[in-house]
């Protein structure tokens, strides 16, 4: 994980043969914060000063709300077996939490985390974020699905491409400013994706942040934009640290 990889990539736009380079980015660490290493992080998001986090694994899946100031747990709700919790997002009125292969999205009260209802969807659930008026969902493929935030109905799709080729294993998502940041499962890469075209406009090299010290520590997963800043919180499955970071040009 400590090896720094230099990636040279190009992306193809909708304008036929015209190509543009994907910006190469690295992680600038601003602070290292504690993180509960029992959390098998699947989703991470900040909303109105609260950090929401979804944790996976059958029989141990849960969703948690934590105060950013003081890091005290405000609310927590468990998912019963056989549900495997996945990505989450928060709108103005609801928290949505995915399940991996159970085909169920759970709508919750963001204040209490109490379950309101369950809706079904086809395929797997991986990552989820809220882009102003729509939800954006990943399923481990190269496709992002747009959904209605009130009904969870499908509104459309976009295919994600890097250097003209599909990028699969899109996992945890964070929507901000008309773009989506996506973890690529089992890698130390975070992609910046144009939601209108699916073109990858930036590749973040996040290697070297965390070296697993005990069996069970797992991959980078979890990205939350800090509102009103250009900063993010990122972590991984069973990591003992949260990193407050900026994504800056590789050569800066």
Q: What is the pLDDT of residue 217?
A: 63
Query: CA 117, CA 34: separation in Å to the nearest integer?
Result: 33
- Give bridge partners of residue 166 from the DSSP assignment: 161
Query: CA 123, CA 118: separation in Å to the nearest integer?
Result: 16
Q: For the purposes of burial, counting CB atoms within 10 Å of the CB of 208, is it exposed (0-12), middle (13-18) or buried (19 or more)? A: middle
Average pLDDT, the chain: 89
Enter the tokens of residue 19.
């190509």
Query: CA 112, CA 76: separation in Å to the nearest integer?
Result: 8
Q: Identify the band that residue 211 occupies on the pLDDT scale cut at 50, 70 and 90.
A: confident
- Give bridge partners of residue 236 from the DSSP assignment: 220
Asked if the model's pLDDT at residue 74 lies above 70, the reply is: yes
Confirm if 128 and 120 have CB atoms less than 8 A apart: no
Q: Phi/psi at 145 (nearest 5 deg)?
A: -110, 130
Asked if the model's pLDDT at residue 234 lies above 80, the reply is: yes
Query: CA 45, CA 57: separation in Å to the nearest integer?
Result: 19
113-158 per-position pLDDT tens digit: 999 999 999 999 999 999 989 999 999 999 999 999 999 999 999 9
Query: What distances in angstroms separate CA 172 from CA 6, 10, 196, one per listed residue?
Result: 23, 23, 19
Asked if the model's pLDDT at residue 186 lies above 50, the reply is: yes
Q: What is the pLDDT of residue 12?
A: 33
45-54 per-position pLDDT tens digit: 999 999 999 9
Q: Is the dihedral of CA 225, 223, 38, 4 positive or negative?
A: negative
What domains lie within the chain, and their CATH numbers? Answer: 10-249 (2.120.10.30)
Confirm if 169 and 140 have CB atoms less than 8 A apart: yes
Report which secondary-structure segment, H or E, holds 62: strand 62-67
- The model scores a pTM over 0.85: yes
Mean pLDDT of 229-246: 95
Query: Residue 206 contacts by C-beta under 8 Å, 6 or more apart in sequence?
Result: 26, 27, 188, 189, 190, 220, 234
């Amino acid at each position: 994980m400590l090896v720094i990889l230099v990636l040279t990539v190009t992306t193809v736009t909708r304008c036929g043969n015209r190509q543009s380079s994907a910006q190469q980015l690295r992680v600038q660490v601003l602070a290292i914060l504690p993180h509960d290493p029992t959390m098998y992080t699947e989703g991470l998001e900040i909303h109105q000063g609260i950090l929401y986090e979804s944790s996976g694994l059958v029989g141990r899946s849960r969703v948690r709300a934590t105060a950013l100031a003081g890091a005290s747990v405000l609310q927590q709700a468990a998912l019963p077996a056989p549900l495997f919790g996945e990505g989450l997002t928060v709108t103005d009125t609801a928290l949505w939490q995915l399940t991996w292969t159970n085909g169920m999205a759970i709508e919750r009260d963001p204040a209490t985390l109490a379950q309101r209802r369950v809706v079904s969807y086809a395929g797997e659930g991986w990552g989820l974020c809220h882009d102003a008026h729509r939800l954006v969902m990943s399923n481990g493929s190269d496709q992002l699905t747009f959904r209605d935030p009130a009904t969870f109905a499908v509104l459309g799709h976009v295919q994600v491409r890097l250097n003209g080729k599909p990028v699969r294993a899109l996992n945890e998502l964070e929507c901000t400013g008309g773009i989506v940041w996506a973890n690529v499962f089992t890698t130390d890469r975070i992609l910046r994706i144009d939601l209108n075209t699916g073109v990858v406009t930036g590749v973040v090299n996040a290697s070297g942040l965390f070296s697993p010290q005990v069996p069970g520590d797992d991959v980078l997963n979890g990205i939350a934009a800090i509102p009103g800043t250009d900063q993010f919180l990122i972590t991984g499955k069973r990591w003992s640290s949260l990193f407050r970071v900026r994504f800056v040009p590789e050569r800066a």
